Structure 1
Amino acid sequence: MSEHEPESWDQHRNRARALRRKRTENHPGGRSGRIVVKVSPAERDEIVAQAEAGGVTPARLLRDAVLRDDPPYTAEDLRELITQLFRAQTALRAVGTNLNQMAKATNTTGELADDLAHTLAAVRRYADRVGEVVDHLVPDGL
């Protein structure tokens, strides 16, 4: 197989098995059920990459993600968090524009703008809010 030739599913499965750090506990009676999930090539690549990074098979990665006892957030939570991040991004852009205008005025006149403290406080508020949203998304940190 060349460097640019895609890996077959069997080749990946064999490599993932070799990389697996620990075996999933046997289930009484075995695991005979099968669910087929269709994904795009990009989604497949992402699942495979995450499985490899975790040292597990793609099947185990998906099973563990779905059947975990304490899912970190629901799909609705995720949509709300994404909405909040977009709002914060928009607000930070507006504040950034204000800071650029103040910097230009300061460079031109040599005097600080009167509302600089207010603008910097807004930057801190929005940055703190973004941090809260990210902390909610990744509660245990990176």
Structure 2
Amino acid sequence: MSDRRRRANVKGGRPHSWQVTASDEEAAALVVKAEQARKTVPALLFDAAMAQGMADQFVLDVEVREELTAIRNMMRALGNNMNQLAKHANATGEFPAEAAAAVKAVQRTAARINDALLDLGQR
């Protein structure tokens, strides 16, 4: 006899459904996890998505990643502006000392943002 239980009926039923595709490896991993939890794969996916904090954390990760991507793009634009300053300096022979420090700051900040994006991607 199975330990699995159906969810309680709800008024109006559950008219919404989604189709999820997975590779052979992903499907095998889902089946193993579902069996360990004594659930069906759809129930496992539903419960995981609805678990307290899990969906919220996923949304937060997406929002943080989007914000960091926007900042990285801004940094690229700043880097482009710095390149234009360098081009001007090469043409005129005038390159202020603070411009060199600004270039280094842009590079350090861009590297930190890229590291943060990589860390988020590995969560």
Any runs of at least 4 consecutive aligned residues in structure 1 with deviations exceeding 4 A, and if so which? 30-36, 68-72, 110-113
In 1, the alpha carbon distance for the partners of 2:43 and 2:25 equals 12
State how many pairs are aligned: 103
**Aligned residues: percent identity?**
18
| Alignment deviations for residues 17-73 of structure 1 (CA, whole Å, 9 cap, x no partner) | xxxxxxxxxx934475698524xxxxx6xx42xx11634178848835852889493
| Alignment deviations for residues 83-105 of structure 1 (CA, whole Å, 9 cap, x no partner) | 23213322331x22222213312
Maintained 8 Å contact 1:106/1:112: yes
Maintained 8 Å contact 2:75/2:106: no
Task: Tell me which amino acid in the other structure corresponds to 1:96.
Answer: G
Aligned equivalent of 2:48: 67
Maintained 8 Å contact 1:102/1:113: no
SS in 2 for 1:127: helix
In 2, the alpha carbon distance for the partners of 1:78 and 1:31 equals 33
- Under a length normalisation based on structure 2, what TM-score does the superposition of the two structures give? 0.52
In 1, the alpha carbon distance for the partners of 2:88 and 2:114 equals 28
In 2, the alpha carbon distance for the partners of 1:84 and 1:130 equals 8
Task: Tell me which amino acid in the other structure corresponds to 2:48.
Answer: L
Structure 2 stretches lacking a partner, 5+ long:
8-13, 31-39
Q: Mark the structure with the bigger radius of gyration.
A: 2
Aligned equivalent of 2:85: 102
- RMSD, matched Cα: 4.0
Structure 1 stretches lacking a partner, 5+ long:
1-26, 39-43
- Under a length normalisation based on structure 1, what TM-score does the superposition of the two structures give? 0.47
